[in-house]
């Protein structure tokens, strides 16, 4: 399945605004983050498990156990963002 990933604040500066990612059906937000981490480089640096990163699934705050569906939008951002 394909999901849309969006980045905000400092993550956007490091990784760009958005990208599409292919995942196995039934994947979770945690599996998505793991797939992004596996890319290495900047993805591994800014999304590392020790870093405080919040996420939203389809514009609703979520934790990483949330299940993804085809066409879902996942946003990653630092815990505090300015407006």
The tens digit of pLDDT for each residue in 44-73 reads 999 999 999 999 999 999 999 999 999 999
Position 48 scores a pLDDT of 96
- In this prediction, residue 81 carries a pLDDT of 53
In a domain, 59, yes or no: yes
Coil vs helix vs strand at 19: strand
Number of H helices, E strands in the chain: 3, 5
What's the domain range around 14? Answer: 2-77
Give a yes or no: residue 83 inside a domain. Answer: no
The answer on pLDDT for 11 being more than 80 is: yes
Is pLDDT of 82 > 80? Answer: no
User: Per-residue pLDDT for 38 more than 60?
Assistant: yes
Element (H, E) at 55: strand 54-57
Query: Do the domain assignments include residue 82?
Result: no
Residue 73 is assigned to a structural domain of this protein: yes
Q: How far is CA 39 from CA 53, 58, 59, 76, in A?
A: 17, 23, 25, 16
Strand partners, 81: none
More confident: 83 or 1: 1
Confidence of residue 20 (pLDDT cuts 50, 70, 90): very high
Total structural domains in the chain? Answer: 1
28 contacts 67 by C-beta, under 8 angstroms: yes
Which CATH number do you get for residue 7?
3.10.20.30
């Amino acid at each position: 399945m394909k999901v849309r990933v969006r980045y905000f604040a400092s993550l956007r500066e490091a990784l760009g605004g958005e990208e599409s990612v292919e995942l196995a059906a039934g994947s979770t937000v945690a599996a998505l983050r793991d797939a992004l981490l596996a890319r290495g480089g900047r993805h591994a640096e800014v999304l590392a498990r020790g870093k405080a990163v919040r996420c939203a699934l389809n514009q609703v705050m979520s934790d990483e156990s949330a299940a993804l569906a085809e066409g879902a939008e996942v946003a990653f951002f630092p815990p505090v963002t300015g407006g």
